[in-house]
Structure 1
Amino acid sequence: METKGIIKSLSVGKPKAHYWKSQMEISGIGKSKTVAALLTKEGFIGDGVANTDFHGGPDRAVCLYPYEHYQMWEKEFKKVFNPPSFGENICVSNMIEKDVFIGDIFSLGEAMVQITQGRIPCSTISKHNGEDQLLGRIVETGYTGYFFRVLEEGSVGDDSCLKLVERKQGNISVLDANFTLFHNRKNRKAVEELLEVQELADVWREKLEKALL
């Protein structure tokens, strides 16, 4: 198997109260690093979400954010971002959105996971990091990170690697899918091609099918 990704941080956390601009909100974005966690079909033990519109469920059990983007955002916003600033479970190098594909299956420690969708970011990313423009830039670039479903449960350590086991299709990367959903939903051909990917998350399938109506 080809080694694809090196974990830079493994993080979990339950939803808790955050105070942003004097407003209290409950969010699961504030995760803490850990050395190991058990991964189940619903996600890591010790992890949780508050906003189920954007996070959680079997198709979104694990959130990954590429390590390479941290340096780019630091240069753009002239501040330090430390993992897991984007609320990710795993911050990983060598797996940016353009290089992985919807449906890719990876081993992750003792577990097996499959890419289902790009992340649809919400305003908590900007609030959590104190940068009002961050959400818009993430959507604009497509550097959203992405989600996995869990095919086989198992223990994951912060020293684990992600190794590519099977590539179901090599035509639509996560970045391609993000562009279609965020910027190109009126392109019927692009939408139909993305819908042909059987491994696509149900929530994305519903959004794209509505775009065809």
Structure 2
Amino acid sequence: MGQIISISIGKPKSIPVKSSRPIKSSFIKTPIESKIFLGYEGFENDQVGDPRLHGGVDKAVCVYCKEHFVYWTNEKGLKLNAPAFGENLTVEGLLETQTNIGDVFNIGQAQVQVSQPRQPCHKINKVYDNQKMACWVKSSGFTGYYFRVIEQGWVAPGDKVIRVRKGEGTFSVDEINSFLSKSKGENNLQRLAKAVKLDSLTDEWRKLLKKRLP
């Protein structure tokens, strides 16, 4: 069982960047203190900056783990707090190694399902004015992941995140991430072939994984 540490929402706005022109993004989010309605396309009053890459029913909620902030401080010298990675939910007790694609959780009055790992886009480099940031996120494995919403409802900071069903095949978010980070020859092809067939994995990620097959 995990817990929601913070819920954050945002809307597209211009973000100044030291080394280039400003970017328009919803990466900078604001934590809320009271309950909020979670619909099929995300939290009320939360908007994505680029609908081609973010949002939609399969990526309704972006999740990041509080435990990783220690790594960013100790290893990279970054003192970060929620929502440092543009996440909607900052959670505790639900690491990528512990959370499976297809897992179903009750959070508040809502029910959600893990749909895919989060793959950071180039804008995280601009927000932190560091061209290595996205690569650091990927190589660390501390990517976060997405929820799709199965049942809408009210959710509040501090709510428990209760797993009610495990995903088929028990493929952790971390294992799915590893299929992309490893060279083709390093992957367990039998596991990879099974992962490609996961019904609960998004089409986007099934296509990515298929490219890793011989």
How far apart in 1 are the matches of 2:38 and 2:191?
A: 34
1:50 maps to 49
1: distance between equivalents of 2:37 and 2:184? 37
Structure-2 separation of matches of 1:195 and 1:22: 38
Is 1:17 matched up with 2:18?
A: no
Shift of 1:119: 0.3
Shift of 1:53: 4.2
- 2:157 corresponds to which residue? 158
SS in 2 for 1:175: helix
User: Which has the higher mean CA deviation after the structures are superposed, 38-47 or 74-83?
Assistant: 74-83
Unaligned regions of 5+ residues in structure 1, if any?
Answer: none
* Residue 199, structure 1, aligned to residue 200, structure 2: yes
Query: SS of the residue aligned with 2:168?
Result: coil
CA shift, 1:203, in A, is: 1.0
Deviates more, 1:82-91 or 1:19-28: 19-28
Counterpart residue type for residue 200 of structure 2: E
Cα separation, 2, equivalents of 1:50 and 1:203:
19
The range that moved more, 187-196 or 71-80, is: 187-196
Q: TM-score, normalised by structure 2?
A: 0.91
1:19–1:25: 8 Å Cα contact kept in structure 2?
yes
Question: 1:54–1:120: 8 Å Cα contact kept in structure 2?
Answer: no
SS, match of residue 136 in structure 2: helix
Aligned-partner Cα distance in 1 for 2:150–2:60: 10
Q: Deviations over 1:106-145 (max 9, x none)?
A: 0011100000100011122232234332211111121100
For 1:127 and 1:73, how far apart are their aligned partners in 2? 17
Quick one: which amino acid aligns to residue 25 of structure 1?
A: I
**Residues 172, 194 of structure 1: 8 Å contact kept:** yes
Cα 1:195/1:22, change in 2 over 3 Å: closer
Identical pairs, percent = 36
Superposed CA RMSD in Å reads: 1.7
Q: Secondary structure at the match of 1:178?
A: helix
Contact 2:179 2:209 in 1 (8 A): no
Count of residues paired in the alignment: 210
CA distance in 1, matches of 2:184, 2:3: 33
Please give the TM-score of this superposition, normalised by the length of structure 1: 0.92
The 8 Å contact of residues 6 and 89 in structure 2, kept in 1 or not, is answered as yes
User: What are the residue-to-residue correspondences of 1:46-195 with 2, within 5 Å?
Assistant: 46-169=45-168, 171-185=170-184, 187=187, 188-195=189-196
Paired residue type of 1:15: P
Pairwise CA distance, 1:197: 1.7
Indicate conservation of the 8 Å contact 2:117/2:173, yes or no. yes
Give 1:165's aligned amino acid: V
Distance 1:133-1:210 versus aligned 2 partners, 3 A rule: closer
